[in-house]
Each structure stands twice: as structure tokens, then as C-alpha cells.
Amino acid sequence: MIDLNGPGCGYVVLGDNLDVLPKLPDGSFQLIYIDPPFNTGRAQQRRTLRTRRSDQGDRRGFGGRSYATVETGRKSYLDAFDDYLGFLRPRLEHARRLLSEDGTLYFHIDYREAHYCKVMLDDIFGRECFLNEVIWAYDYGGRPKGRWPAKHDTILVYVRGPKRHYFDQDAVDRAPYMAPGLVTAEKAARGKAPTDVWWHTIVPTNGKEKTGYPNQKPEGVVRRVVQASSQPGAWVLDFFAGSGTTGAVARQLGRRFVLVDDNPEALAVMYRRLGTDGTCYLDAAGRPLRGPVAAPDL
């Protein structure tokens, strides 16, 4: 059972979020961050590759030794919907119900569906509850020649009640000035409060943060969200949790979290990332998951 009045710091639930959300009590989350599949029309997949010593290998290394590149893992989730908005709508209606009076929803999406989703969120929340359209800009990957390469995601921000939402700009890590030579040395050292355009790298390919899960979002982006829109000790919800970035950040910042994902591979990654200290792993009916079920590929 998920007990939001207990001392626990986190829950990870394996199941379709539409089965899990109705069991959560109204108004219990100050912050919801979600990053659903973007409806790209194809499965999202990441392969993990390692280089190993092998006499049959086709690559030469130090001392003339031969090496082979082998696949050590593959993680994927489906990302094609006949009726994308029909899939999202009931889940977003629950999101609104679950927010506290001062709560905020961050909805992470890309250019394919952002405009349709904004119209639907206006309808569910009311246009007066729209707070921001945050642009996360990055610079990575291929550059097609026939159009402007798409290098940003959109994060639509809606509040439960206009002017009642919690927002602490001073708690957010400051950003460097783009032209530090144009401000005083003191200002340049302090940095500036971020605007609604966030320049941030993707998860570094060889960094400690990297889990190998497809479309993992950087902790730096989610950290701003959690710092600005939740208080220490608050409950934070992510019901398209993937590798558990929201849980990892929430825990670092002293918030409590509920993460939901229906992919056992996501659960295995979260289990490795978050461990069992203060985190409970449940099925959609609220029963504890144990051993190989909680971590299928460990």
C-alpha cells in the first residue's frame, strides 16, 4: 500500500499508470513532473555496448591485442499511439485531481505534439492556470540539412489554482550570464535567475548519471523543477518515470516521491539507481514486489 502519511521517502510502482492513479488520494502532491512517450511512431530503444578482449575481435588496441564490441543490454518502450490525446487525457485529469491547492504540473513534450497537448491542458486545467512554456534547449545528435535541426523540448507548466501555487525562484540554481563581460564581476560570479529558456546538456553519454534507459532526462533540468515548485518534505509524483530521474532528484533534495512505470526494464533501472533504503517497490495493486520481480535483470 502507498501510505502518504507514513515516514517513507519513496515508492516505485510497476503498472499502467491508469490503474495506479485512481488509488492515490486527491490533492496529495505539490509537484507532478511527467515525461510521457512523445508519440514518435516507433519504439524507443537504447543499446548498451562494451568493448571486450577477444581473439576474434575486429578492433586492434594496445600491444596489438584484439577487441570486440559486444551488446550488453537493450532497453526499450513503445511509442506509437493511434489516439495520443485519448491516451493522455484521463491521465492528465487525474494529475489535476492529485495536485494540492498550491501544486504544479510540469508536462515534458517535444515539437510533434506540444501544441495539441497545450490546447488539451488548457481545457483540463483552464487557461488561467497556464503558468509557463519552458524551452529546454540542447545541442546534440544529427543535423538534417532540409530544415532547422530540432534541438529543444517543451515543458508546459500548469498550476492547480492561479496565484495560489508554490514557487521559490531563490531556491533554484543560478545560470551563468551569456555575456559575463557586460555585467559586474560580482554579478557574473553570482549568475542570474533562469528564464523560461533553459540551456542544458543532455545526459552525458559516459557520465555517472547515465543509466542506459531511452530518453533519460538530465537531473539538472528536473532539479530546477523540484527546487522551484516543491518544498522540502513534499510529495512529488512522476507517473511516466522511466529511469527514475524525478525520484533521484527528489531524494537528493529531501522530497518524497511516487514513481510509476509499466515497463519492467524501467523498474530494474530504478531499483539499481534508487536502491531499497527508504524506497518501496510495489505492483499496481499495492503489493510489495520482491527479489527477481523487483529487479528482473539484476
The site for ligand SAM (CB under 6 A) is made up of 16-17, 35-37, 77, 213, 215-217, 240, 242-243, 245, 260-263, 266
DSSP result, 2-61: --TTSS--EEEEES-HHHHGGGSPTT-EEEEEE------SS-EEEEEEEEEE-TT-SEE-
**Whole-number minimum distance, CB 208 to ligand SAM, in Å?**
15
CA distances from 256 to 8, 80, 220, 239 (A): 8, 32, 18, 14
Amino acid at 40: T
Task: Tell me the DSSP string of 23-39.
Answer: GSPTT-EEEEEE-----
* Alpha helices, H only, 218-298: 219-229, 245-252, 264-274, 291-294
> In terms of CB distance, is 81 or 177 closer to ligand SAM?
81
Q: How far is the CB of 211 from ligand SAM (least distance, A)?
A: 7
Q: Are the beta carbons of 224 and 194 closer than 8 angstroms?
A: yes
The residue whose Cβ lies closest to ligand SAM is 242
CB closer to ligand SAM, 237 vs 266: 266
161 vs 220, beta carbon nearer ligand SAM: 220
Yes or no: say if 229 and 106 are a contact pair by the CB < 8 Å rule: yes
Q: Least distance from C-beta 243 to ligand SAM, angstroms?
A: 3
Quote the least distance from Cβ 28 to ligand SAM, whole Å: 19
Smaller CB separation from ligand SAM, 215 or 279: 215
Q: How far is the CB of 3 from ligand SAM (least distance, A)?
A: 21
Give the nearer residue to ligand SAM in terms of CB position, either 131 or 248. Answer: 248
b/e map 186-202, b = 16+ CB within 10 Å: eeeeeeeebeeebebeb
The Cα 73–Cα 194 span in angstroms is 37
Of residues 54 and 76, the one with the C-beta less far from ligand SAM: 76
Tell me the C-alpha distance between 217 and 194, whole Å: 18
